[in-house]
């Protein structure tokens, strides 16, 4: 059994969690859940990152203390994470006594190693407020002679992007007092990280701990020349920890933030009677950090240098991911694509995002694109149409009888799926979730073909086939259970529902190796609904932030409850469809009754390769009544996403010979054509063969 400690980057207590942040927490949560299901002793540590100037500024703006601000934000973060089933073993705060103590200890080691020295730094000082100003507390004229834009902050110009030191601004004005600050000298403490150069070269370039592109980036940008000293102190006032041997100076937020991983672990250890050193000072523990590429520098140079200088474990692996884009573009408040976690949860099932991210995450650092059409299609066809469908088509028949006492002959399917588990596990282990999901879907396809071929809905008609029906359902449900086990890191709720359905909780990956037999089957409950694209639209509409961006780059709470969005949508229904195709002549009821419309289930769907527009659908009207219908919906619907759906079929149309075969009916759809075709479906509960009145 491995002992594994996992962290995600600490969210800053200056804003709410959004879908971009969630990429990382879901990536980490999936990995942690996988390790736990494998039987490893794995713990997941996180905390709010609470210190620094931005917190001071925001607390001041809101007229509350820093402590009040970080307490509010922590509560919101914890709720958001819980809403997405992200399960930390401990969620702490960098503003904790444990963190203060560990910072002091590590600082003492760094001092003792002779890495700290003091140097005077020139900074802007607000005489009226009696304090040095942070970059964001000052505005002035851009020092770039070609620019000269006014009202710019103290670090870089929003007009020409020039980077500068705040003391270079012309006409600086303090944002706190409105007075002109003066340049004053103040001693700062620096860590001479260059003394660690040889160690960092070895550690980053050895090929074991970092992705190759990250190792190359460090080599090309930092390690090819002497490393610059790191300024780790800030003068009072600062929201953070005062440096014990340097009164009036505080540790810069990036010094104490990563130590927060350790402090969070300390809290967990104290609560569980564990020994802290077993986790942070033992060869037997692997430490894995998950983080975004924007904070690579701190975690791959400073952090290992700090750990190596103190007596603590170096990370085994640092897993770095890219940024989230939505439909190929940067997330934007004005477009509504920067969706707060809480807004998402008002509109959509968290399982959708968990599944979608998993289906696309690899172990590379590339940026990640959330494509909305793909989001809907993947959830609806892969998850609901392929995986969930397997249970919904078998469980109801097995409810009376339970599973067969002995596992029936399934032609080796269970065995094959059990073997697939090894490859799936290997893909999860290497953070290539996209590969794990592809393999799971291939396994699901085989299981669906089995159910399709054995058609339990037909066997159920014939009392003489009761044993056979039970065997088919036993196989179908066991194959489904294997998939639920493999998906458990991604979809914990599905795993739980499957455990309830089949009377045995899913607790480990190894359960996929042994079939369940002779156990009762509970009443089948809905496991996952299809994504309604309208809800996706409503979510983005609710995330649009109008007007200029909020102060200090803070993310404000998107407004508007779901209900008002829905009303706005209704009011916006235009008259074009009706105007474009006016109503036909009135008919009598008898005329209407001549068309016999029936509910039909799509049991198979395939492409007609020679035809531009046609898909060949095999419809079940219940029992063994099958119709083959050619429908002009190719390119609009993918065959696999149709299987299992309940459609409406004009069932008494005379068969029509077409170029590519005979069509024995018609499925109903609306829309002008082209890409705008919308199939009509029956609500859940309708039965194939029922007449539509
Ligand atoms: Zn400028």
Confidence of residue 483 (pLDDT cuts 50, 70, 90): very high
For CATH 1.10.730.10, the residue range(s) in the chain are 368-513
Query: In which element (H, E) is residue 25 found?
Result: helix 19-37
Q: Decide: residue 593, CB within 10 A, 0-12 exposed, 13-18 middle, 19+ buried.
A: exposed
pLDDT score recorded for residue 606:
87
CA of 631 to the centre of ligand 1 (A): 60
Q: What is the pLDDT of residues 304-332, one digit of tens each?
A: 999 999 989 999 999 999 999 998 888 98
Q: List the CATH code of the domain at 368-513.
A: 1.10.730.10
Average pLDDT over residues 486-497: 98
pLDDT score recorded for residue 574:
61
CA of 648 to the centre of ligand 1 (A): 63
Task: Give the separation between CA 349 and CA 179, rounded to whole angstroms.
Answer: 51
CA of 234 to the centre of ligand 1 (A): 26
Q: How many CB atoms lie within 10 A of CB 589?
A: 6
Check residues 175 and 282 and name the one with the higher pLDDT.
Answer: 282
Task: Give the separation between CA 536 and CA 336, rounded to whole angstroms.
Answer: 11
Q: List the CATH code of the domain at 3-105+251-321.
A: 3.40.50.620
Check residues 483 and 636 and name the one with the higher pLDDT.
Answer: 483
Report residues near ion ligand 1: CB below 5 Å: 142, 144, 147, 149, 157, 159-160, 162
Looking at the chain, the whole-number percentage of residues with pLDDT higher than 70 is 95
CA of 171 to the centre of ligand 1 (A): 14
Q: Answer whether residue 550 shows pLDDT above 70.
A: no
Task: Give the separation between CA 316 and CA 319, rounded to whole angstroms.
Answer: 10
3-state secondary structure 307-352: HHHCCCCCCCEEEEECCEEECCEECCCCCCCCCEHHHHHHHCCHHH
pLDDT score recorded for residue 554:
30
Check residues 653 and 429 and name the one with the higher pLDDT.
Answer: 429
Task: Give the separation between CA 494 and CA 354, rounded to whole angstroms.
Answer: 12
* Residues 190 and 119: beta-carbon distance below 8 Å: yes
Task: Give the separation between CA 520 and CA 504, rounded to whole angstroms.
Answer: 10
Q: Answer whether residue 158 shows pLDDT above 50.
A: yes
CA of 144 to the centre of ligand 1 (A): 5
For CATH 2.170.220.10, the residue range(s) in the chain are 116-191
CA of 147 to the centre of ligand 1 (A): 5
Task: Give the separation between CA 666 and CA 656, rounded to whole angstroms.
Answer: 10
pLDDT score recorded for residue 305:
97
CA of 552 to the centre of ligand 1 (A): 18
Alpha helices in 183-292 (DSSP H): 197-205, 212-218, 253-272, 276-280
CA of 163 to the centre of ligand 1 (A): 9
For CATH 2.40.50.140, the residue range(s) in the chain are 580-679
- Point out the least confidently predicted range of 201-215, 285-299, 635-649: 635-649
CA of 174 to the centre of ligand 1 (A): 18
259 DSSP β-pair partners: none
- Point out the least confidently predicted range of 231-240, 345-354, 595-604, 679-688: 679-688
CATH 2.40.50.140 fits 580-679, yes or no: yes
Q: What is the mean pLDDT of the chain?
A: 91
242 DSSP β-pair partners: 250
Query: In which element (H, E) is residue 621 found?
Result: none
CA of 532 to the centre of ligand 1 (A): 46
Q: How many CB atoms lie within 10 A of CB 392?
A: 17
Write the DSSP symbol of residue 122: E
Say which CATH class 116-191 falls into.
mainly beta
Q: For 504-637, list the strands marked E by DSSP.
A: 597-607, 615-620, 626-631
CA of 146 to the centre of ligand 1 (A): 8
For CATH 3.40.50.620, the residue range(s) in the chain are 3-105+251-321
């Amino acid at each position: 059994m491995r002992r594994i400690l996992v962290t995600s980057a600490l969210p800053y207590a200056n804003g709410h969690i959004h879908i971009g942040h969630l990429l990382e927490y879901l990536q980490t949560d999936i990995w942690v859940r996988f390790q736990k299901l494998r039987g490893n002793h794995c713990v997941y540590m996180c905390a709010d990152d609470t210190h620094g100037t931005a917190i001071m500024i925001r607390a001041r703006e809101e007229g509350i203390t820093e402590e009040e601000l970080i307490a509010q934000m922590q509560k919101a973060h914890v709720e958001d994470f819980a809403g997405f089933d992200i399960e930390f073993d401990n969620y702490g705060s960098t503003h904790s006594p444990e963190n203060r103590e560990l910072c002091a200890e590590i600082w003492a080691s760094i001092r003792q190693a002779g890495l700290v020295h003091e140097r005077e730094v020139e900074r802007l000082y607000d005489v009226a407020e009696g304090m040095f100003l942070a970059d964001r507390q000052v505005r002035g004229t851009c020092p770039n002679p070609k620019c000269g834009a006014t009202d710019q902050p103290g670090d870089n110009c929003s007009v020409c992007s020039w980077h500068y030191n705040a003391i270079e601004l012309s006409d600086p004005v303090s944002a706190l007092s409105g007075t002109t600050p003066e340049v004053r000298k103040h001693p700062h403490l620096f860590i001479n990280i260059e003394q660690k150069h040889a160690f960092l070269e070895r550690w980053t370039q050895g090929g074991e701990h970092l992705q190759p592109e990250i190792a190359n980036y460090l080599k090309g940008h930092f390690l090819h020349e002497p490393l610059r000293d790191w300024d780790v102190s800030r003068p009072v006032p600062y929201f953070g920890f005062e440096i014990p041997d340097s009164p009036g100076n505080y540790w810069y937020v990036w010094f104490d933030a990563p130590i927060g991983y350790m402090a969070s672990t300390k809290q967990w250890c104290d609560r569980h009677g564990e020994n802290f050193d077993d986790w942070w000072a033992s060869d037997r523990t692997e430490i894995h950090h998950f983080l975004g590429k924007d904070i690579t520098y701190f975690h791959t140079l400073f952090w290992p240098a700090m750990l190596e200088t103190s007596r603590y474990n170096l990370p085994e692996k640092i897993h770095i991911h890219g940024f989230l884009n939505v439909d190929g573009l940067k997330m934007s408040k004005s477009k509504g694509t920067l969706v707060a976690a809480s807004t998402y949860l008002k509109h959509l099932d968290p399982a959708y995002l968990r599944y979608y991210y998993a289906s696309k995450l690899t172990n590379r650092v590339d940026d990640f694109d959330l494509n909305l059409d793909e989001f809907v299609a993947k959830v609806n066809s892969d998850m609901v149409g392929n995986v969930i469908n397997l249970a919904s088509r078998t469980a109801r028949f097995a409810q009376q009888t339970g599973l067969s006492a002995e596992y029936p002959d399934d032609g080796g399917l269970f065995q094959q799926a059990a073997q697939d588990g090894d490859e799936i596990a290997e893909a999860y282990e290497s953070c290539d979730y996209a590969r794990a999901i592809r393999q799971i879907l291939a396994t699901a396809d085989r299981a669906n073909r089995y159910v399709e071929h054995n058609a339990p809905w037909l066997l159920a008609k014939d009392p003489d086939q009761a044993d056979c029906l039970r065997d088919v359902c036993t196989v179908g449900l066991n194959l489904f259970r294997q998939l639920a086990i493999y998906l458990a890191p991604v979809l914990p709720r599905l795993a739980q529902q499957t455990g309830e359905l089949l009377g045995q909780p899913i607790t480990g990956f190894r359960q996929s190796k042994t079939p369940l037999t002779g156990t009762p089957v509970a009443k089948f409950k809905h496991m996952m609904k299809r994504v309604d694209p309208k809800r996706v639209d409503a979510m983005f509409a609710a995330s649009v932030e109008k007007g200029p961006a909020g102060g200090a780059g803070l993310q404000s709470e998107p407004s508007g409850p779901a209900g008002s969005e829905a009303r706005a949508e209704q009011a916006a229904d235009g008259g074009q469809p009706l105007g474009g195709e006016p109503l036909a002549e009135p008919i009598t009821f008898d005329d209407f009754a001549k068309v016999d419309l029936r509910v039909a289930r799509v049991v198979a769907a395939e492409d007609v390769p020679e035809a531009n527009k046609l898909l060949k659908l095999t419809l079940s009207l219940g029992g063994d009544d099958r119709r083959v219908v050619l429908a002009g919906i190719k390119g609009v619907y993918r065959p696999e996403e149709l299987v299992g759906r309940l459609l409406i079929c004009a069932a008494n149309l005379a068969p029509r010979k077409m170029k590519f075969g005979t069509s024995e009916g018609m499925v109903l759809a609306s829309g002008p054509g082209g890409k705008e075709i919308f199939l009509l479906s029956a609500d859940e509960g309708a039965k194939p063969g029922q007449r539509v009145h």
